[in-house]
Amino acid sequence: MIFGASGDLTQRKLFPALYALAYRNLLPPQFGVVGVARSDMTLDEFRERMQAAVEEHARDEFRENVWEQLADGLRYVRADLADAEDDEGIVAALNDLDAARGTGGNRVYYLAVPPSAIEPIVLQLGRRRATGGWTRVIVEKPFGHDLESARQLNEVVRSYFDESEIFRIDHYLGKETVQNMLVLRFGNGIFEPIWNRQFVDHVQITVSESLGIEGRASFYEQAGAIRDIVQNHMLQLVALTAMEPPIDFDADSVRNEKVKVLRAVHTPGPKHVVRGQYGPGYIEGDEVPGYREEPGVTPDSMTETYVAAKLYVDNWRWADTPFYIRTGKRLPRRETTIAIQFKRAPHPPFELDAGEELRPNVLLVHVQPDEGVSLAISAKVPGQGMTIRPVHMDFLYGGAFRVGLPEAYERLILDCMLGDATLFTRADEVEEQWAIVDAMVAPWKRDRPHFPNYAAGTWAPAAADELLQRDGRSWRGR
């Protein structure tokens, strides 16, 4: 059952993912979907909308027989569980599916609704839990608005559902390249011995998007970049980069190690956090409006669309090694990368050309696009003399495996149906993430930066550059 069935996420991600699973015969024949939203729609209209969504966004060609199999199990219910005990239609649709397809009372409730609608829906669902079969609840991010609301939401959800039934989704964890961080680190012998403060100079994590807010003003005005990306995707990337090897690849072993990292993150002071908001500018030659001119945004909005910060993970492995993070909308390109910059070779035994110096090695994990891993090393330019240039040793998914990468939601929806929570966020993990974010935003109540402070299509505020320049470093890939 998908709450939020008329929404953006359902159309752009969830139905295309379900279609990809059906396309590969990964869904059981009994599978069916009840869509729930407040919008008035007939079942035929709902089917048409979802078909159009699949045709537009699925990664596979559209096949009538695959779609028919999915469409047959669709139901649509107009209901507003946040306002009323409006669930007669829901119960009837579920009973109907149970009878028609033999779903045996097994339920996944996917809450693809705005954060404010989650708690009331959970309350209603919890009070009317089905007795037969298993029940699982997927809750979209951001889980809460701050530490206090996340704790309260955790309390509500856990008073009706066991932790093993709660799947707090962060779709970054479903990305192949993010999962590959664990294999890169713990499936290879050569990286771990140097993956620490003795060899690593610093880490840079970038989640940049050229997109703006895509009509999601009501959500984004509340969230901003810090709650939309830093609290979840970004801190998960930090945790996966910094964590110790788990003893097993099961849900608790992996999450225990991530929580330790989050607990060790030193609260950055105001000087170590930069925020920004885009003004008008150009993306790939096209003129785009500033954030304050986006439909639904107030003309004096102080919502940040960019955040950069310097974090420290205070433990033996990482003490004094900065983790620089940055994320923003309307930056020049879409790119998510984790860059591990190693310390420079201590002494060049050869004479370098004037003005040249040895470049440090950098291990670059390209989360997206051009998914892969590359290692920057120094090499001698062929010919007389000793001219040195950085070159890259590359692994590209496209070249190595020759299969399309699955979308994160495919993996995560299937894992949830199989009851595997390894790639979902545990209650304590979410709360630790909020504790970091709450500390970062606390000083924001006191000062009003001059927004907008970067033009769309540029690499963000000067203060973000200064954050690294003060440490004698600079952001990669400008």
Least distance in angstroms from the C-beta of 414 to ligand BG6: 17
- Cβ closer to ligand NDP: 149 or 196? 149
- Cβ closer to ligand NDP: 4 or 328? 4
**Residue 394 interaction partner, one of ligand NDP, ligand BG6, none, beta carbon < 5-8 Å per kind:** none
- Active site (annotated) includes residue 366: no
Which member of 16, 32, 73, 115 binds ligand NDP (CB under 6 A)?
115
Identified catalytic residue from 145, 171, 202, 233: 233
**What's the token pair of residue 374?**
């590359």
**Residue 279 interaction partner, one of ligand BG6, ligand NDP, none, beta carbon < 5-8 Å per kind:** none
d(CA 124, CA 127): 5
- Cβ closer to ligand NDP: 120 or 246? 120
The answer to whether 407 contacts ligand NDP (rule: CB under 6 A) is no
For residues 334 and 211, the answer to whether their CB atoms sit within 8 Å is yes
Least distance in angstroms from the C-beta of 78 to ligand NDP: 8
**Residue 331 interaction partner, one of ligand NDP, ligand BG6, none, beta carbon < 5-8 Å per kind:** none
- Cβ closer to ligand BG6: 98 or 209? 209
For residues 213 and 334, the answer to whether their CB atoms sit within 8 Å is no
Q: Is the peptide bond before 349 cis (omega within 30 degrees of 0)?
A: no
For residues 137 and 111, the answer to whether their CB atoms sit within 8 Å is yes
Which member of 1, 4, 21, 167 binds ligand NDP (CB under 6 A)?
4
- Cβ closer to ligand BG6: 209 or 415? 209
Least distance in angstroms from the C-beta of 206 to ligand NDP: 19
- Cβ closer to ligand NDP: 108 or 375? 108
Please work out the total of residues on this chain that contact ligand NDP, with binding judged by CB under 6 A.
25
**Residue 388 interaction partner, one of ligand NDP, ligand BG6, none, beta carbon < 5-8 Å per kind:** none
d(CA 306, CA 291): 11
**Residue 6 interaction partner, one of ligand NDP, ligand BG6, none, beta carbon < 5-8 Å per kind:** ligand NDP
**Residue 80 interaction partner, one of ligand NDP, ligand BG6, none, beta carbon < 5-8 Å per kind:** ligand NDP
Map the footprint of ligand NDP across residues 126-145, applying CB under 6 A. 140-141
The answer to whether 3 contacts ligand NDP (rule: CB under 6 A) is yes
3-class secondary structure per residue, the chain: CEECCCCHHHHHHHHHHHHHHHHCCCCCCCCCEEEEECCCCCHHHHHHHHHHHHHHHCCCCCCHHHHHHHHHCEEEEECCCCCCCCCHHHHHHHHHHHHHHCCCCCEEEEECCCHHHHHHHHHHHHHCCCCCCCEEEEECCCCCCCHHHHHHHHHHHHHHCCHHHEEECCHHHHCHHHHHHHHHHHCCCCCHHHCCCCCEEEEEEEEECCCCCCCCHHHHHHHHHHHHHHHHHHHHHHHHHHCCCCCCCCHHHHHHHHHHHHHHEECCCHHHEEEECEECEEECCEEECCHHHCCCCCCCCCCCCEEEEEEEECCCCCCCCEEEEEEECCCCCCEEEEEEEECCCCCCCCCCCCCCCCCCCEEEEEEECCCEEEEEEEEECCCCCCCEEEEEEEEEHHHHHCCCCCCHHHHHHHHHHHCCCCCCECHHHHHHHHHHHHHHHHHHHCCCCCCCCEECCCCCCHHHHHHHHCCCCCCCCC
Query: Which residues make up the interface to ligand BG6 (CB under 6 A)?
Result: 209, 211, 228
d(CA 326, CA 308): 4
- Cβ closer to ligand BG6: 211 or 442? 211
d(CA 309, CA 202): 13
**Residue 81 interaction partner, one of ligand BG6, ligand NDP, none, beta carbon < 5-8 Å per kind:** ligand NDP
Least distance in angstroms from the C-beta of 211 to ligand BG6: 6
The answer to whether 6 contacts ligand NDP (rule: CB under 6 A) is yes
Sketch the per residue contact string, 214 through 233, with ligand NDP: x for CB under 6 A, - otherwise.
--x--x--------------
The span of 5-13, 252-260, 369-377, 446-454 binding ligand NDP (CB under 6 A) equals 5-13
- Cβ closer to ligand BG6: 165 or 228? 228
Closest residue to ligand NDP in the complex (CB): 7
The span of 75-83, 234-242, 272-280, 361-369 binding ligand NDP (CB under 6 A) equals 75-83
Sketch the per residue contact string, 18 through 57, with ligand NDP: x for CB under 6 A, - otherwise.
------------------xxxx------------------
Least distance in angstroms from the C-beta of 203 to ligand BG6: 19
d(CA 346, CA 357): 11
Residues that bind ligand NDP (CB under 6 A): 3-9, 12, 36-39, 80-82, 112-115, 117, 140-141, 171, 216, 219
Active site amino acids: 233
